[in-house]
């Protein structure tokens, strides 16, 4: 690591600490910008990873997308170019050296704006690529991220400068080794763009059954092409994607809304409680009841130490 990058990371760490003095994900005055602080190794958390860029300046985290693992630490950034169901866990953190990260959400239209205003070539028919990747942050990207983070201290400048700095961050990502993976989701009619339409359809109606032919029609692809491109983008099939969404939502419901397992199974789209319990156990390692009791005990313990 160069001295310049080390100094940039130290400055960014100070900014994150200043505005996130306790564990959790902290919103900022910039609606798309979040600061993350964790002082302990966390439980694996299953959730939807929004379309976003996340840069780590301290600690380490691991994200599981289907069977694919992404591990990243200081100086790394991770990008999700579509919404994806993942399981994430902070794997290196302590009270002395907490996990510190900055997350920036963005839209395909913002990517397209950068592509339109730059000399980055637009390729229409390339094969879809994985919609999640990890890469090293260079000095130019870090500089843009720091300038965006500094705006939290000067909120009057946010309306004008935040969009410009966000655009610059996306520009440097597009110039990087995985830029094609980000570009594919913004170009209208590309294979990646059509898979993104299918992903949105599944997310918006995860609790309803579908025929693969219907999804292929949305993508304007054959069934075989849809399967191939969808798996390339998400590392799973459309059915597996839907299953992860259902089980993640079921877990959230059990923790926050209802302890009636049969009711929750039905609400997320399962017709059989036994099938729901089998698939829940396979994904989370515990039956729904065991998982609920375990997580509540952990929550009570963590509260008692505060």
pLDDT exceeds 70 at position 151:
yes
Q: What is the CATH number of domain 191-237?
A: 1.10.10.60
Query: What pLDDT shows up at residue 82?
Result: 93
Between 302 and 256, where is the model more confident? 256
Q: Does residue 303 register a pLDDT over 70?
A: no
* pLDDT digit string, tens, across residues 175-213: 999 988 888 888 888 898 999 999 999 999 999 999 999
Report the share of the chain in percent with pLDDT over 90. 77
pLDDT at 80: 96
If one looks up domain 241-304 in CATH, what number appears? 1.10.10.60
User: Which part of the chain has CATH 1.10.10.60?
Assistant: 191-237, 241-304
Take residue 159 and report the two structure tokens written for it. Answer: 């309306």
Query: DSSP labels for 248-297?
Result: HHHHHHHHHT---HHHHHHHTT-S-HHHHHHHHHHHHSS-HHHHHHHHHH
Q: Which CATH class is domain 3-183?
A: mainly beta
DSSP 199-235: HHHHHHTTTS---HHHHHHHHTS-HHHHHHHHHHHHS
pLDDT at 123: 56
pLDDT value of residue 122:
59
109, 117, 129: which is closest to 187 by C-alpha?
109
- Which DSSP helix (H) or strand (E) runs through 167? helix 158-175
Quote the pLDDT of residue 71. 96
d(CA 161, CA 278): 50
pLDDT per residue as tens digits for the range 99-114: 999 999 999 999 999 9
Eight-state DSSP code of residue 156 = G
pLDDT in tens, 46-55: 999 999 999 9
Taking the C-alpha atoms of residue 59 and residue 91, their distance in angstroms, rounded to an integer, is 8
pTM for the predicted model, two decimal places: 0.90
In the chain, list all ranges with CATH 2.60.120.810: 3-183
């Amino acid at each position: 690591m160069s001295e310049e990058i080390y100094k940039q990371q130290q400055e960014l760490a100070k900014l994150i600490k200043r505005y996130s003095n306790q564990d959790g994900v902290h919103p900022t005055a910039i609606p798309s910008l979040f600061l993350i602080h964790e002082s302990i190794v966390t439980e694996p958390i299953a959730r939807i990873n929004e379309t976003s860029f996340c840069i780590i300046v301290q600690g380490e985290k691991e994200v599981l997308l289907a069977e694919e693992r992404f591990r990243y630490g200081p100086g790394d950034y991770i990008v999700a170019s579509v919404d994806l169901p993942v399981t994430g866990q902070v794997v290196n953190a302590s009270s002395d050296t907490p996990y510190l990260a900055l997350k920036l959400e963005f839209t395909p239209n913002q990517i397209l704006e950068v592509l339109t205003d730059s000399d980055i070539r637009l390729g229409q028919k390339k094969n879809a690529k994985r919609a999640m990747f990890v890469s090293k942050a260079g000095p130019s990207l870090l500089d843009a991220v720091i300038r965006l983070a500094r705006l939290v201290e000067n909120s009057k400048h946010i309306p004008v400068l935040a969009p410009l700095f966000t655009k610059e961050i996306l520009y440097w990502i597009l110039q990087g080794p995985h830029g094609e993976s980000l570009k594919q989701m913004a170009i209208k009619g590309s294979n990646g763009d059509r898979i993104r339409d299918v992903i949105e359809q599944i997310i918006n109606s995860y609790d309803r059954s579908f025929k693969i032919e219907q999804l292929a029609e949305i993508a304007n692809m054959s069934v075989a092409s849809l399967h191939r491109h969808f798996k390339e983008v998400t590392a799973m099939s459309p059915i597996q994607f839907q299953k992860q969404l259902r089980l993640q939502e079921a877990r959230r419901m059990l923790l926050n809304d209802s302890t009636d397992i049969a009711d929750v199974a039905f609400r997320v789209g399962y017709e059989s409680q036994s099938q729901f319990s089998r698939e829940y156990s396979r994904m989370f390692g515990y039956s729904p009841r065991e998982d609920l009791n375990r997580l509540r005990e952990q929550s009570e313990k963590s509260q008692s130490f505060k």
